[in-house]
Structure 1
Amino acid sequence: MSRVYPFDDAATARAVIDEDGTLVEWNEGATRLLGHPAQTVLGRPAARLLAGEDAPAPPTGPRWQGTVGLRHRDGRTVPVWLLAHRRSASDGHGGSWLVVTPLTGARPPADHDPLAEAGLIQSPCAVAVYDAELRLRRMNDAMAEVVGLPEERLRGLRLAEIGGEPQSDEVEQGMLQVLATGSPLDVQTRMHAHTAGEDRTHAWLARMTPVRDAQGRVRGVAVAAHDVTDNLRAKQRLQLVNEASVRVGSTLDVTRTAQELAQVCVPVLADFVTIDLLDPQDHGGEPPARLTAPVTLRRAAHQSVLDGVPEAVVKPGQTEEYPAGSPQADALTAGHSILASAAAGDMQPWLTWNDARAEQVRRFGIHSSMSVPILARGLTLGVAVLTRHRRPDSFTADDRLLAEEITTRAAVCIDNARRYSRERETALALQRSLLPRTLPRTVALEASSRYLPAARAGVGGDWFDVIPLSGMRVAMVVGDVVGHGVEASATMGRLRTAVRTLADIDLAPDELLTHLDDLVVRLSEESGVDAGPGEVGATCLYAVYDPVSRRCTVARAGHPPPVVLRPGCAPQALDMPAGPPLGLGGLPFESTELDLPEGTVLALYTDGLVWARDRDPETGREMLYDALGTAADSLDQTCDRVLATLLPPGGSVDDVALLLARTQGVPAAQVATWDIPADPALVAPIRKQVVRQLDAWGLSEAAFTAELVVSELVTNAIRYGSHPIRLRLIHDATTLICEVSDTSHTAPHLRRAKVFDEGGRGLLLVAQLTQRWGSRHTTEGKTIWAELPLFEADQ
């Protein structure tokens, strides 16, 4: 009797034999059966108790039963039916055998015994009845079939002795509770079923009810066992499908989606899974509907129950050609799933095509394989190969249906990710082709830039540009088109081209934004949307810096203001009118002018830099000020520091464009200005003054060309312009600029003079002698300018 089992334990003869055949346990019932006290047999070979020379063959399975002759203490031979259960190693102890036989089971039930009358003995449900000491009294044929032994052999044994598994002890504890409380109890467990032709673990629902006599006293426990294996498997499969729906396709990344598919299948469905996908580039950009061997696949993902995936021969990212006879090629060419197992012999052809894989199959004991094509929208994307080596059972038809269900769901996600990746790559290529590859080197600015596409939302319409203007001025622009994808990139390209075109005619920033706003309205109308103005929208900031006056004119259309970092000062956002976003139409834009000392840093950016889900924009701007305020040797280093400070490790949720510019000035000594009288006869003295100035600058070799250009421009201004007239010369190391300004708003135009015309050849001559020329309108009138390359004069 024990505290756990408070009944006579000697009603069963029980012994435990360890792996080497030594008796390690011997109860009172064994002493009662054979007369040997425990101290005389423990620690000695169990074979000494066998009578005769014919010993039974060593058992090979988890359970053995049979009748053997045992040696009694008085020397006689006692034939005994024994039931032996193999117990696996646990808690650092080796395996052993539990050997039992009932001592009182042969006693037939008494007449009108409620235990004998309890239960539906002929019921198809497996039913067993245990007495008040939890020893078997009756069981029906269904229970005998589950146990695999007849009732007369087991009568008198406890459930823990009949089952021999740790789960039997748990069920027996439930029976003891029913016996003590008199209340029914349900217990779910997993135990072996020893039905003929089958020896595998089943899921059981044990429904236990008390057995009462006529006076209502609890006299035993009736146990009805219901096999819920199929229900449990169906529930597990449904859970697996639901889990696959949630876990697979969490991102629009092909590799991540393939890895999620592999992780869902291991270990619930397989011990080792590989996901190999086709490269669409090998098939003209789109995966084919059908394939022929050999097939080249790229390993996208794999997963194993073993750490490090030691079964794999190919690493993720590597490609391999699979010939006919391989599980990958056979499933893809057949267009349906293929099951193979070592027991059936149909895995053998697959082991001959690759020695390395055949070695892995032998090393890990892979015995079953299932190849499932990954198909979506009529296209073949790849193949999933599931194998088992730890689980002893082979894949079944139900496993195939489950794998196909999961793979079909994952295939749609993989195809979505593939299409998204293709569109993203196209948009990114378009975006990069439309953005400046390098920023122009100008006298006015030292500039550096960065562009980063969104990590998940896809490529957007952010852009930046640095545009050289006349008079050594330079324009800076940063913009952001609403939306993402190819359409946003295409719209960005059209807007960037428009800005360059409008900048080329030297429009003021507010006028330029007005024209750009009209363009966006037209683009919105051409897109055919029904939402009205603003459907195709954008924000933009446009700034023009003059290195001669060191003044900057800025206008913005709903864009974040620039950050200004003057030498020796803290960074601060420029206080200026916000302006409406582009595409609303009909609303005014305002310009702001400011003086910028030489060495001032301007930071132009899109809102993706400072905006984040986990912080407000004001915090982002403060972080930007801190990053800009830290000393750096170069603008490139400052750009990198800004991005590292403000962007998360995984990338921004929106596109980011950043343009940093450090202003430079043209020294006053490199600028010369003259007021021109309204007398054509005084053009000659002006030419002489220009020649003397060029001599003073050391540019005498450019004097002849400059003298001709100045003569033509000044003469045209006197004849066709309005006073006052002003001439200005500006030069740097490579360029000489001649500018003539007057108060007339009439722009000159180039024409071809006829043979007998006395005039009309001046601007044609200027165009031939200079590398660029043009005109720009100002608030006072217009300026005609021409650029002469100094490096040609030096040659």
Structure 2
Amino acid sequence: MSSARDDDAALVEAHERLLSGRTIGKAVRGPIQSSWRRCNSMGLTADRLQAAYTADVDIGGKLTYVARPVLDRLETRLAGVPATIFLTDERARLLQRRAGEPSLNRRLESLQLAPGFGIPEELVGTNGIGTALVMTGPAFVCGREHFADAWSGLACAGAPVRDPFSGQVLGVLDLTCMHLDADPTMADIVAEAARSIEERLLDGVSARERALLETYRSARGVGVGQSGSPMERLGPRDRRVLEERATELISSGRTGFAEVRLSHGRAAVLLSRPIGHWSGVSGFSVEAAFPGEGIFPLLAQGSPDTGSPDTGPGVPRFPTPRPAIVSAPQPRTPAVPADQWLLAVGEPGIGQLALRARQRLGLIADAGFRIGTTLDVSRTAEELTEVVVPRFADFAAVDLPDCVLLGEEPIRVDGPLRRTAIRGTHEGAHLYSVDDVITFHPSMPQAQALATGEPVREPRLSEAPGWIAHDPVRGSKILSAGVHSLIAVPMLARGTVLGVVSFYRSKASGSFEEDDLVLAEELVGRAAVCVDNARRFTREQTMALMLQRSMLPSGMPAQHAVEVAHRYLPAKAGVRGDWFDVIPLSGARVALVVGDIVGHGMHAAATMGRLRTAVHNFSALDLATDEILTQLDDLVIRFDLDDQRAGKADGGIAGASCLYAVYDPSTRRCTLGRAGHPPPAVVLPDGTVDFPHMPVAPPLGVGGLPFETVDVELPEGSLVVLYTDGLIAHLGQCDLDRGFAHLLRILAQAARTPEEVCEALGALLPADPSDDIAVLVARTRALDASQFASWDLPSDPAVVSRVRADVDEQLAEWELGDLGFTTALVVSELVTNAIRYGAEPIQLRLLQDSTLICEVADGSSIAPRMRRAHTTDENGRGLFLVAQLAQRWGTRYTASGKVIWAEQPLPGRSVQ
């Protein structure tokens, strides 16, 4: 049967979102999300994972010997089912592989799933065995829930096998089949078999329990073990609930009733009563009865001082929201009716050990689930305190240096620490609060733990003078509040001390014992790795953000074509590659650019910088809009090829988009081109808002397809709004159509200046968006007719002298007579070149902007070259002369030829 959890499309999308640093979403189960994040934080990649072989694996050891009968029965039970049984040790190394059809075995062997190979989560990613060990609990992983691509065709259900008394995980039992054959009940089958192995482990040390069972059987007679009991009809989960509750009853050492709620609205009543053996072994038995199947005969037996069957504390009252134990003083052993069913026997001391072991394992398992769900240092510290309070301590505090919070590498943690997280069962403990800066005195347990790297226990704080001497006033208040015991544990990860964690207990709990140190160290160790991962992520994000900011425009360049304003919001989850630019061009034109690099982190920021530099270089060559996009497309393809040749697993560009617009204020025309980018919005002076129709083009890096452009005439005062897809995604809550409609409404209502438009959009944007958002708003200006003059010229050298006179007259009209001599020389050289080497039509144009621009256009596409003429050369000095007289000069190509231009500064004028 196909698993109900299998939603390939959603899982694939979520996996890609994880690898690109975006939010996974709700399509993935919580345990799988946690495992994916662990794998991603350890640097695993989905396409390069390999099991590790260890020669010294104890394949025929105790665990294998004890589990053999259980594996035999399970193999018989699964005869004909295309599934394989695995048994591993505590390090995820395979000990046994049973059954499995040939095709499945070939698939498993290709993944190196054979005895001796280890498949922990840190090597091969999310899987039933490795993930079960990390979680110290059952794990079910199906299809695309596997982190590794090679494992996506499998379904795995794993359950840990524990020592029944110490609670230590000895190994994992796993059931694996093909993804299409998966069934979620696999988890129940594996859990049941794992418990059977644990029971066999118990057989070697449970002679005392067997003595108690003998006494119980003698009291029960023939009623014990008969077939058809309700116990046999219970599901695995209900049995587990009853067994855990029975352990609690035995460990309490009290006689009484307990009501236990089961699935599907059912309930059971458990009776705990003392039993003893002639050898002196004494303990308790726990029996189960079910409503309508023996409960009232059980209650009718009664016990001294427990009340009648219908009233009194001995009667469970259905439905009770939580089970409650009702104790009675030493009842007589009643004659047991045959419709009660034995659930467990044991001694209180051993039961308490088992109960405490189970509680500790549960706490560690919860820590694996709940700590490290984010890559935020402060939040990870808070998660640690949430897990341990109140189950392990009444108060917990995490103190870290500021360098860790900022993502830096702590060299020595011996100075002030900042309280990063604190949690308690109640207020008024007088402990330091969050954000308080603390300097621990050398005599304090926290300082000793940091200095030695070992946990320190103070079972009685009232007798710890060093702790009180640190702050006598606060210390007295803390003791008065009932806090009496402390464990300080250094937070160590990868050999680095990150901070210290303090666990406190108050009068409501007993003092910390010696074995609590081990549990505290285990909990802090797990949290330390998560904190260090978050610290490293913070450092990388900070460095990437610094790199990105250094590559984004620090200010807008001087130009007169448009009035601009911009906004840039970096993503909370990591630096992306969004960017924007304003590039002055020849002829008083300006280029407006926005782009987006898919991905996050240093690679995306560096790629963004490379593309932005390339755009500047291509723009300096005065290339056409479609040609610039073509060159960028080729460049991205080369980036990918270089990364592939370098063998970078995480290299390459997953996708890049760009929108390039060129506005000419002399013609009021805007040329637009895009590569996989959303179109700009245009707001006309009358308030009309629209998205110009632009040809659709693939993102950069696809190659093989041409880029097309569109020309739009814009009245003076029009607004051109360029943006990245993060804006539309946020406005539309991931619905693009709704996002575009929302943007149109905002622009229709916004004021007319670019800054006011940015303010209106910024008011709707979050402080920490899920994706980068870049917005560039430009309001167009136009050159007045009086600011430029043009002449159509014949291809006749005699016209040059007349043109010089016309230019002198025009400069006098503009009150620029001081530039007459140099401008006449520039015009003479450019017009002469066009007549000699160009083709008709020939046109001269002068523009008075922030500079004086001289342009000569002709119908030839052959560009002149500047060279150094020798003494005997008669030609070759014209462009050299122009370069000396002009501030800048260059050539740009048009659809009908070329334009050679030169700019001269205007004395005493600046850009407005």
What TM-score does the superposition give when structure 1 sets the normalisation length? 0.70
Equivalent residue for 2:293? none
CA contact (8 A) 1:296 1:319 kept: yes
**Correspondences of 1:362-381 after superposition (within 5 Å):** 362-381=479-498
Q: Which amino acid aligns with 2:360?
A: R
Give the 3-state SS of the residue equivalent to 1:744 in structure 2. coil
Tell which deviates more after alignment, 660-669 or 709-718.
709-718
CA contact (8 A) 1:187 1:207 kept: no
Equivalent residue for 2:728? 610
Aligned equivalents of 1:625, 1:374: Cα separation in 2 = 52
1:758–1:628 Cα change, 3 Å:
same
- Residue from 591, 609, 625 that aligns with 2:744: 625
Aligned equivalents of 1:723, 1:662: Cα separation in 2 = 36
Give the 3-state SS of the residue equivalent to 2:763 in structure 1. helix
Give the 3-state SS of the residue equivalent to 2:644 in structure 1. coil
1:446–1:207 Cα change, 3 Å:
farther
Matched, 1:442 2:547: no
Equivalent residue for 2:829? 712
Residue ranges of structure 2 left out of the alignment (5+ in a row): 1-217, 222-249, 258-273, 285-301, 339-344
Deviation at 1:364, TM superposition (A): 2.3
Equivalent residue for 2:545? 428
1:408–1:212 Cα change, 3 Å:
closer
Aligned equivalents of 2:616, 2:332: Cα separation in 1 = 86
Aligned equivalents of 2:251, 2:623: Cα separation in 1 = 95
Aligned equivalents of 1:145, 1:392: Cα separation in 2 = 27
Matched, 1:286 2:409: yes
**Correspondences of 1:567-586 after superposition (within 5 Å):** 567-586=685-704
CA contact (8 A) 1:119 1:127 kept: no
Q: Which amino acid aligns with 1:277?
A: L
Q: Which amino acid aligns with 1:602?
A: V
Equivalent residue for 1:775? 891
Equivalent residue for 1:189? 325
Deviation at 1:254, TM superposition (A): 0.7
Deviation at 1:361, TM superposition (A): 2.9
Give the 3-state SS of the residue equivalent to 2:470 in structure 1. coil
Matched, 1:738 2:854: yes
Deviation at 1:417, TM superposition (A): 0.9
Aligned length: 618
Equivalent residue for 2:668? 550
What TM-score does the superposition give when structure 2 sets the normalisation length? 0.62
CA deviations on 1:35-68 (whole Å, 9 max, x unpaired) are: xxxxxxxxxxxxxxxxxxxxxxxxxxxxxxxxxx
Q: Which amino acid aligns with 1:752?
A: R
Give the 3-state SS of the residue equivalent to 2:716 in structure 1. coil
Aligned equivalents of 1:224, 1:520: Cα separation in 2 = 71
Give the 3-state SS of the residue equivalent to 2:745 in structure 1. helix
Equivalent residue for 1:417? 534
Matched residues, percent identical? 46
- Residue from 361, 373, 394 that aligns with 1:250: 373
CA contact (8 A) 1:171 1:187 kept: no
CA deviations on 1:153-207 (whole Å, 9 max, x unpaired) are: xxxxx9998xxxxxx99999677449x9xxxxx97539899xxxxxxxxxxxx99
**Correspondences of 1:235-274 after superposition (within 5 Å):** 235-274=358-397
CA contact (8 A) 1:207 1:225 kept: no
Matched, 1:593 2:593: no
Give the 3-state SS of the residue equivalent to 1:611 in structure 2. helix
Aligned equivalents of 2:638, 2:346: Cα separation in 1 = 79
Aligned equivalents of 2:507, 2:834: Cα separation in 1 = 94
CA contact (8 A) 1:127 1:224 kept: no
Equivalent residue for 1:297? 417
Aligned equivalents of 2:529, 2:728: Cα separation in 1 = 35
CA contact (8 A) 2:639 2:652 kept: no
Equivalent residue for 2:14? none
1:722–1:354 Cα change, 3 Å:
same
CA contact (8 A) 1:127 1:225 kept: no
1:159–1:234 Cα change, 3 Å:
farther
Q: Which has the higher helix share?
A: 2
Equivalent residue for 1:82? none
Equivalent residue for 2:614? 498
Tell which deviates more after alignment, 775-784 or 695-704.
695-704
Aligned equivalents of 2:486, 2:906: Cα separation in 1 = 77
Deviation at 1:303, TM superposition (A): 1.7
- Residue from 453, 471, 495 that aligns with 2:587: 471
Q: Which amino acid aligns with 2:761?
A: V
Deviation at 1:390, TM superposition (A): 3.8
- Residue from 379, 398, 405 that aligns with 1:275: 398
Matched, 1:335 2:471: no
Equivalent residue for 2:118? none
1:521–1:283 Cα change, 3 Å:
closer
Larger Rg over CA atoms: 1
Deviation at 1:752, TM superposition (A): 2.1
CA contact (8 A) 2:491 2:528 kept: yes
Q: Which amino acid aligns with 1:656?
A: I
1:780–1:396 Cα change, 3 Å:
same
CA deviations on 1:354-394 (whole Å, 9 max, x unpaired) are: 34543443442421111011112222211101112242411
Q: Which has the higher strand share?
A: 1
Deviation at 1:504, TM superposition (A): 0.9
Give the 3-state SS of the residue equivalent to 2:726 in structure 1. coil
Give the 3-state SS of the residue equivalent to 2:659 in structure 1. strand
Equivalent residue for 1:27? none
Aligned equivalents of 2:445, 2:771: Cα separation in 1 = 43
CA contact (8 A) 2:402 2:418 kept: yes
Equivalent residue for 1:525? 641
Equivalent residue for 1:635? 754
Give the 3-state SS of the residue equivalent to 1:322 in structure 2. coil
Q: Which amino acid aligns with 1:431?
A: Q
Give the 3-state SS of the residue equivalent to 2:802 in structure 1. helix
Give the 3-state SS of the residue equivalent to 2:856 in structure 1. strand
Deviation at 1:689, TM superposition (A): 0.8
Q: Which amino acid aligns with 1:666?
A: L
Deviation at 1:280, TM superposition (A): 3.9
Give the 3-state SS of the residue equivalent to 2:599 in structure 1. strand
Query: Cα RMSD over matched residues?
Result: 4.0
1:408–1:124 Cα change, 3 Å:
closer
Give the 3-state SS of the residue equivalent to 2:823 in structure 1. helix
Aligned equivalents of 1:375, 1:172: Cα separation in 2 = 59
Equivalent residue for 1:489? 605
